[in-house]
């Protein structure tokens, strides 16, 4: 069984709301210039998820630029039309964007997204032809009380109740992001992440790729992606700096050649 999702390693840069559209254009411009002299192996894919505003600007500005970096939305609604403030799969497709993050812990924690909403968003995005990066992960308390595996299992179970999701597992990636490791500079040990990744892979019958996220840097990325069930990384803060993202791609390239 091919565990590494057809051998691909995915590097997903989540720029959150760190950069304005102008700052995003500046960073992306530097990345595509760097790419020309530092091409990475075919089995590494790089995706940038800027803010929705920046995404509109970037897709327009770089539509004729030759680059292997693709774009993603950071969030999505579950329908189109009378949903003020929302974005749909149709909006993403109109910009040529094929990937969306769903259920990021910041959406769960600060925007009140629950399992039901996350399931609806995941199903709508998959039905709309997008690739979904579903984020799951436990809090510090949940890990300390030995409930991490059960919490993550429950989060995945709730989206597997939807037949649309089950029918499109080949377009689902699951990012395991322990909440206590996000933005703290303290990642989980790669061996511990791998234990969770193997359990997640088993739960989805190895039909969806599993990524790690939470304080990934150029210094620690190799330790994660060298693991059998870790098909890539979801990177926040380090990916918003030129040296951070290029450093991560360069290290990954050395592991994956």
Residues 6+ apart with CB under 8 A from 197: 176, 210, 212, 227, 229, 230
Active site residue 177: yes
How far apart are alpha carbons 126 and 172 in whole angstroms?
A: 8
How far apart are alpha carbons 52 and 94 in whole angstroms?
A: 13
**Minimum distance from CB of 79 to ligand PGA (Å)?**
25
How far apart are alpha carbons 232 and 252 in whole angstroms?
A: 9
- Please tell me which residue in 10, 35, 104, 229 is annotated as part of the active site: 104
**In sequence order, what DSSP letters do the residues of 163-188 get, joined into one string?**
HHHHHTGGGEEEEE--GGGTTSS-PP
* Closest C-alpha to 69, from 137, 10, 157, 125: 10
CB atoms within 10 A of CB 142: 18
**Minimum distance from CB of 90 to ligand PGA (Å)?**
25
Judging by beta carbons within 10 Å of its beta carbon (0-12, 13-18, 19+), is residue 135 exposed, middle or buried? buried
**Could you give the C-alpha distances from 103 to 64, 67, 84, in angstroms and in order?**
32, 28, 19
Residue nearest to ligand PGA (CB): 236
**Residues binding ligand PGA (CB under 6 A):** 14, 177, 182-183, 213-216, 234-238
Active site residue 104: yes
- What DSSP character marks residue 46? E
**Minimum distance from CB of 135 to ligand PGA (Å)?**
7
**Could you give the C-alpha distances from 13 to 46, 57, 103, 162, 236, in angstroms and in order?**
8, 17, 16, 28, 6
**Minimum distance from CB of 232 to ligand PGA (Å)?**
12
Give the three-state DSSP class for 208. Answer: coil
- Closer to ligand PGA at the Cβ: 142 or 177? 177
**Minimum distance from CB of 120 to ligand PGA (Å)?**
21
- Closer to ligand PGA at the Cβ: 77 or 137? 137
- Closer to ligand PGA at the Cβ: 14 or 47? 14
- Closer to ligand PGA at the Cβ: 77 or 236? 236
Which sequence positions are flagged as catalytic? 104, 177
């Amino acid at each position: 069984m091919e565990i590494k999702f057809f051998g691909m390693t995915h590097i997903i840069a989540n720029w959150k709301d760190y950069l304005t559209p102008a700052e995003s254009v500046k960073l992306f411009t530097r990345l595509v210039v760097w790419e020309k002299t530092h091409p990475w192996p075919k089995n590494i894919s790089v995706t940038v998820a800027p803010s929705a505003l920046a995404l509109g600007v970037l897709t327009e500005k770089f539509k004729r630029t030759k680059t292997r970096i693709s774009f993603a939305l950071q969030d999505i609604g579950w329908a189109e039309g009378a949903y003020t403030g929302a974005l749909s799969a149709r909006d993403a497709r109109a910009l040529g964007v094929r990937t969306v993050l769903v259920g990021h812990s910041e959406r769960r924690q600060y925007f009140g997204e629950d399992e039901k909403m996350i399931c609806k968003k995941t199903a709508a995005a998959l039905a709309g032809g997008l690739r979904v990066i579903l984020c799951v992960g436990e809090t510090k308390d949940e890990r300390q009380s030995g409930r991490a595996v059960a919490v993550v299992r429950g989060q995945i179970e709730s989206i597997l109740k939807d037949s649309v999701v089950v029918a499109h597992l080949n377009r689902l990636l699951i990012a395991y992001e322990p909440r206590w490791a996000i933005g703290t500079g303290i990642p989980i040990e790669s061996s511990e992440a791998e234990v969770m990744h193997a359990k997640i892979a088993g739960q989805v019958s190895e039909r969806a790729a599993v990524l790690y996220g939470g304080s990934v840097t150029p210094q620690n990325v190799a330790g994660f992606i060298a693991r059998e069930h870790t098909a890539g990384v979801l990177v926040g803060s380090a990916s918003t700096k030129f040296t951070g993202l290029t450093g991560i791609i360069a290290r990954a390239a050395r592991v994956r050649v």
